[in-house]
Amino acid sequence: EAQVTQNPRYLITVTGKKLTVTCSQNMNHEYMSWYRQDPGLGLRQIYYSMNVEVTDKGDVPEGYKVSRKEKRNFPLILESPSPNQTSLYFCASSFLGTGYNEQFFGPGTRLTVL
């Protein structure tokens, strides 16, 4: 089944404790992206990647890191999480860039930073 998977789905952590949210897609998509969703603010793009070893900042990259060493994986790293990073996070992927194709979304990761 074609899908985008994220792990973990739920995570409660404390300020400053490094964490990684994994994202994997099995559709051979070149493009992958991370978003965060907050009430009243909609979805905001954190980082995106056009292909392996190619990443760019989105609207709200501060406090996050990403890497794209393999085509199928695009992990989101929070080196020192803070409470303002409490949010619902989505990974998405698509062929080419957003100018051409729909994005497929993962199920989301609900992160709480205490």
Which residues are near another protein by CB under 8 A?
4, 31, 33, 35, 40-45, 48, 50, 56, 58-59, 88, 90, 92, 96-108, 110
Q: Smallest gap, in angstroms, from Cβ of residue 80 to another protein?
A: 26
Q: Which residues contact 95 (CB under 8 A, 6 or more apart)?
A: 27, 29, 30, 31, 101
**Alpha helices (H) in 1-94, listed in sequence order:** none
Q: Which is nearer to another protein, 69 or 100 (CB)?
A: 100
Q: Which is nearer to another protein, 1 or 40 (CB)?
A: 40
Q: Smallest gap, in angstroms, from Cβ of residue 44 to another protein?
A: 8
Q: Smallest gap, in angstroms, from Cβ of residue 13 to another protein?
A: 19
- Secondary structure, 3-state, 6-39: EECCEEEECCCCCEEEEEEECCCCCEEEEEEEEC
